[in-house]
Structure formats: C-alpha cells, structure tokens
Amino acid sequence: MITPTRLSVLSLLLTGAATLSAQTHAPVHHATTAHTATPHTTAATSPAACAKDAPVFSPKVPALPAGSPCFKTLYTITTIPQAKLENVSPMENPDLAKTFGLEPASFSLLYIDTKIGTGERAQPHKWYTVNYTGYLPDGTQFDSSVGKDPLSFAPEQRKVIPGWFTGFDGMHIGGKRRLYIPYELAYGPNGRPPTIPARTALIFDVEFVAQSDTQPAPKTPPAPKPAAEPAPGASSQPSAAPATSGTPVPHPPAPATPTPAPKR
C-alpha cells in the first residue's frame, strides 16, 4: 500500500530524474574553428658554432682572407683510460699518470672553409686530388704541393695522417679549407724528427681539386725536344770542350811498358 508520504517522495524522485535527463540529453553546440592548412617545412640546419678552444699559433702562419669565419669542429675524440694508478709513492713524479697515458684526454679536428667549392661534394671510397701547404704552429712551412703536382690519395687506404682521413668531409671540388690537426691525429707524441717535433699540432691549407673512382694516372713527362739541325755548311766534327767547364777532361792512360822476357 502506497501512503501519501511515499507518493510525495516518489513524485519528488521522478521530478528530479526528469530534470537530470533533460540536462543530460540537451544538445551541446560547439563552436567550429576553421583550420588553415599550413605547408610542411623542414627546419633549417643551424650553422656549426665556433670552436670553444680556438687554437693560437704564430702570426708567421699566413693570415686567412678577410671575412673568413671562425674555426669549427669536425669532431672531438675523448679517451678515458680503463686503468688507473693506485698506491703511488710521494717520491714519484706528479706527472706519472701522464707518463703512462692514464689521463683522460680530449682533442678535436678543426676547420675553416675559406672558399666554398661549386663542384661535386667529396664522396667516400674515392681518390681525392688536393693541393696543400703544411705549417708548424711557429709558422715554419714544412711541406707543400704548390708549384708541383697535386697529391692524390684514397682516405680508406690510411696512407696519410689520421687528420686527413675525414678532413675533407663536406668540401666541394674547388673549395679551400684550413685544417687544424692536433698531434694525436698527426704524427703522435713522438713526431717525425727532425721535421715534425714531438707532440706538435699541424696547420694545413688545402684545396680540393678533384675526385675519381680510381687512382689518377701520373702525368706523362714532356717529350724531349729534338736536337737542332746544324746550319748548312757547318762542320760535323765535334767542337772542342768549352774552356769554362769545371770538370777536368780525363786523359787516356799511358800504354803499359812491356816486361822484358827473361834471358835464357
């Protein structure tokens, strides 16, 4: 039996349910936002930053062209020895770890592109043909191909110093670059006496001339010039040796004196 009190409660519940249902199912209108299609763009690669520890060397090293950029890093190598010194006597040299090569070390191959080439970019597994001039940090020029035939080499053959294995990466044919090669990527802690002292960094000014799939053929030496024909009426007998010659003309040895036969 439903009492009036229960009817009142039931009526209130039904009224609340109807209100809740009206709120739940009321249509919601969302504002439509127009979306404009934007073209996909690739972020531009930021230029390499200047090297933090730019090398300092003698002003005798030729200055670069005005407006040349700063040194940038091709790569950095950090070595962390696996061995360590322990129980070192105070009588030992404080540089003992350095003596045994047990100190962490970090060195970088640095470059400055002084001229951007317009030819093909340097490719791996090729023969490179380059011109170069090498300097010590004190400004001494120790080698150069300028005025001679360019040097051709294949980096993968490892017949050049390690700094040249990848020192031409990113260059284009016709380009010029200055390389700063730490001694670890040059001739090492012993150097190459007497030309390259121990633990000496090297500076190279290089020009990327060409690249090829095979080793370039050596240049053919020029053919000798033909001997000039004698003028008509000139004697065909050889002329006397010039008086200015500093080399003495050898004389034929005197005939040997025959040994007399022994008397019988």
* pLDDT, tens only, 5-17: 443 544 444 444 4
Instruction: Return the higher-pLDDT residue of 231 and 42.
Output: 231
Over residues 68-96, mean pLDDT: 92
Work out the mean pLDDT of the chain and round it to a whole number. 78
The fraction of the chain above a pLDDT of 90, given in percent, is 53
Topology (CATH) of 109-212? Chitinase A; domain 3 (3.10.50)
Instruction: Return the higher-pLDDT residue of 32 and 189.
Output: 189
Q: What is the pLDDT of residue 231?
A: 59
Q: What is the pLDDT of residue 259?
A: 47
Q: Give residue 233's pLDDT band: very low, low, confident or very high (50, 70, 90).
A: low
Q: What is the pLDDT of residue 222?
A: 65
Instruction: Return the higher-pLDDT residue of 47 and 198.
Output: 198
- pLDDT of 23 above 90: no
Q: What is the pLDDT of residue 75?
A: 95
- pTM, two decimals, is 0.64
Over residues 76-93, mean pLDDT: 91
Over residues 76-100, mean pLDDT: 90
What's the rounded Cα separation, in Å, for the pair 178 and 204?
A: 6
